[in-house]
């Protein structure tokens, strides 16, 4: 009788887990549909709509990397990166904004008591932030008085909490930026995002005026986590680069798929064969596919290796950390190269302002411009791989 009860309980638990996964999958599909319908409007509005941010919550982007003890899903980095990649295939801006769900790992450097307050009402908390330039904060009663303006506040219009970079005279942060976290209601968003790609990310300026932030709501960017789960031991700055780089992989995949779908139907205004029948087109689309898959394989291979190392209770080597950064820069550059190759193959189709090939190309071009994915990564990674001393701030 006891055995039957246990078997029945296991079956019920399994069915509940399957049901939860089915609900999550349905939520993800609703999100993809909404992004397809609204992505042009995102670019015109220069931000993702509140309704779509809510769908991102429901699809699990903001709970994915929250630890189970705080009510989250505690997925692996690989699983989260694939979520961002899939969304980016539909729209780069949406993928970019959703990628900041990784901030649960970033925020884990806060004291445990603070984390418990942040996630007291559930794990689906949206964080946005701007670090540079760090602004001076004054020591006052109750903490630090924060004022200033920060740029590049991606997703700030839909955030619940916002972090800004500060510096405190005489503080023992080792020269690394401190992040002061506060309710989004304390921050004024000044719309000024006017760029050639990633137009819908809402990366506007953020202005703070004399907000007092308690010390236990500040942390060193990239500092040691207060939590001991393997997920929270994953190198924060490497993950910060990865979640952006994978957007380029997604947009490049989206560009290839759009071009492949239209290749057999689009004829030439000169009467030439359609794209799919042209030898150069067949050759170049195959090269683009191989290039993208190769970069993607390296990217996920080192991610899985690093996380498996942490799950085993071991520390990552300097080489593994450098390879995480190298794979990210390579993914970003490759994604941009592939999207540009697709644009060139598309002929005059790709020059239409709102055509998805043009959109994917413009979005992909923005990704490797980010400081985390800059050209210096190549040299820095090379130094580490050659057994030389790692440069300051790397990896």
68 belongs to a structural domain:
yes
117 belongs to a structural domain:
no
Q: pLDDT tens digit string along 229-252?
A: 999 999 999 999 999 999 999 999
Please indicate, yes or no, whether residues 257 and 357 belong to a single structural domain of this protein: yes
Q: pLDDT tens digit string along 105-123?
A: 999 999 999 999 999 999 9
262 belongs to a structural domain:
yes
351 burial via Cβ count (<10 Å: 0-12, 13-18, 19+): exposed
Please indicate, yes or no, whether residues 321 and 366 belong to a single structural domain of this protein: yes
**Helical ranges in 46-151 per DSSP H:** 50-58, 77-90, 92-98, 103-107, 112-118
Query: E strands of 197-312, at which residues?
Result: 204-213, 218-220
Please indicate, yes or no, whether residues 319 and 380 belong to a single structural domain of this protein: yes
391 belongs to a structural domain:
no
Tell me how many domains the chain contains.
3
Q: Which of 190, 220, 250 is the last residue of a domain?
A: 220
More confident residue, 20 or 141: 141
Whole-number Å distance between alpha carbons of 28 and 56: 8
Task: Tell me: pLDDT of 89 over 70.
Answer: yes
In 3D, which of 357, 376, 359 has the Cα closest to residue 368? 376
273 belongs to a structural domain:
yes
Please indicate, yes or no, whether residues 154 and 188 belong to a single structural domain of this protein: yes
Q: Which domain holds residue 15?
A: 2-107
393 belongs to a structural domain:
no
Please indicate, yes or no, whether residues 183 and 238 belong to a single structural domain of this protein: no
Please indicate, yes or no, whether residues 84 and 49 belong to a single structural domain of this protein: yes
Whole-number Å distance between alpha carbons of 354 and 345: 17
Please indicate, yes or no, whether residues 204 and 297 belong to a single structural domain of this protein: no
Largest CA distance in the chain: 79
Please indicate, yes or no, whether residues 279 and 160 belong to a single structural domain of this protein: no
Q: pLDDT tens digit string along 329-374?
A: 999 999 999 999 999 999 999 999 889 999 999 999 999 999 999 9
Please indicate, yes or no, whether residues 94 and 138 belong to a single structural domain of this protein: no
CA angle at 185 for the pair 103 and 192, rounded to the nearest 5°:
80
Query: E strands of the chain, at which residues?
Result: 127-136, 138-140, 143-153, 161-167, 178-183, 188-190, 204-213, 218-220
Looking at the DSSP bridge assignments, the partners of residue 165 are: 179
């Amino acid at each position: 009788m006891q055995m039957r009860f246990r078997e029945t309980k296991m079956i019920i638990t399994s069915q509940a887990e399957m049901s939860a996964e089915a609900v999550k999958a349905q939520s993800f599909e609703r999100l993809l549909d909404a992004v397809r319908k609204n992505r042009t409007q995102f670019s015109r509005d220069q931000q993702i709509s509140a309704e779509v941010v809510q769908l991102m919550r429901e699809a699990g982007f903001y709970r994915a990397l929250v630890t189970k003890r705080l009510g989250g899903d505690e997925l692996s980095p690989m699983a989260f990166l694939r979520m961002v990649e899939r969304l980016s295939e539909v729209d780069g801006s949406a993928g970019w904004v959703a990628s900041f769900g990784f901030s649960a790992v970033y925020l884990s450097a806060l004291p445990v008591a603070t984390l418990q307050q942040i996630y007291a009402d559930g794990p689906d908390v949206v964080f946005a932030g701007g670090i540079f330039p760090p602004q001076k904060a004054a020591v006052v009663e109750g903490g630090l008085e924060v004022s200033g303006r920060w740029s590049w506040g991606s997703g700030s219009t839909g955030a619940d909490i916002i972090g800004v970079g500060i510096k405190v005279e005489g503080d023992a942060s080792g020269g690394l930026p401190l992040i002061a976290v506060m309710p989004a209601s304390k921050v004024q968003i000044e719309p000024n995002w006017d760029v050639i790609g990633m137009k819908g990310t809402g990366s506007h300026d953020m202005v703070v005026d004399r907000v007092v932030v308690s010390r236990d709501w500040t942390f060193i960017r990239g500092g040691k986590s207060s939590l001991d789960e393997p997920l929270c031991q994953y190198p924060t700055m490497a993950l910060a680069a990865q979640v952006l780089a994978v957007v380029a992989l997604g947009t490049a995949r989206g560009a290839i798929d759009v071009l492949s779908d239209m290749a057999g139907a689009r004829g030439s205004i000169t009467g030439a064969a359609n794209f799919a029948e042209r030898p150069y087109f067949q050759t170049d689309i195959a090269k683009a596919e191989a290039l993208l898959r190769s970069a993607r394989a390296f990217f996920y291979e080192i991610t899985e290796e690093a996380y498996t190392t942490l799950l085993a209770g071991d520390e990552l080597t300097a080489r593994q950390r450098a390879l995480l950064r190298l794979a990210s820069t390579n993914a970003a550059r490759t994604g941009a190269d592939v999207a540009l190759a697709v644009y060139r193959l598309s002929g005059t189709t790709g020059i239409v302002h709102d055509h998805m090939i043009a959109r994917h190309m413009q979005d992909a071009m923005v990704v490797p411009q980010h400081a985390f994915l800059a050209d210096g990564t190549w040299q820095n990674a090379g130094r580490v791989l050659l057994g030389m001393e790692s440069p300051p701030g790397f990896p």
